[in-house]
Amino acid sequence: MVGGQLERIGVSLPSNLLQKFDDILSKRGYSSRSEGIRDAIRDYIADYEWISEVHGDRIGIITLIYDHNQRGVGDSLMDLEHEFVGLVVTTLHVHLDKNNCLEVILIKGDASHIRDIRERITALKGVKHVKLTTAPPGEGV
């Protein structure tokens, strides 16, 4: 909204993604797609702002799902993990099906480096989902 006014935008989405979104909206009782999109954007902004404001040492996991058929995505992930060798503690790789892989990356280090690797993973073509969960490392960790 600019000056309290609504703005119209156009969005192109794959039909299967839109169908899943519509199904969720229906189950959650939304009266329109616009309401759901506004809530999704608010959540996206809140998530970004939360992770942007976290500082200091953290421990956590990055969970991602990617299409292993996407050319170069596996190599790019491995290159990032090597680039952040001081941050990446270990990884777990699972083949979900013929096309999709799940990767779990255990991380420990400065929040700014964790943000950096998360953003770079999110930007990789073929990565479908990224979730970061962190906490302060606590005593003796």
pLDDT at 136: 82
CB 104 within 8 A of CB 90: no
Name the class of domain 15-51.
Answer: mainly alpha
pTM for this structure?
0.69
Comparing CA positions, the residue from 93, 120, 122 lying closest to residue 106 is 93
Residue 67: strand pairing partners: 100
Domain extent listing, the chain = 15-51, 56-135
Pairing of strands 127-135, 88-95: unpaired
Residue 9 to residue 7: CA distance in whole angstroms: 7
Spatial neighbors of 7 by CB under 8 A, at least 6 apart, are 1
Nearest alpha-carbon partner for 51 in 125, 122, 138: 122
Q: Which helix (H) or strand (E) holds 101?
A: strand 100-110
Report the top-level CATH class of 56-135. alpha beta
Give the count of alpha carbons within 13 A of 97, CB side only: 4
Per residue of the chain (141 residues), what is the pLDDT tens digit? 555 788 989 989 999 999 999 999 999 999 999 999 999 888 888 777 766 777 888 899 999 999 999 999 999 999 999 999 999 999 999 999 999 999 999 999 999 999 899 999 999 999 999 999 888 887 544
Which one, of 100, 96, 41, 43, lies nearest residue 68 by Cα?
100
Instruction: Give me the pLDDT at residue 49, please.
Output: 72
H helices present in the chain, as ranges: 15-28, 33-53, 73-83, 111-122
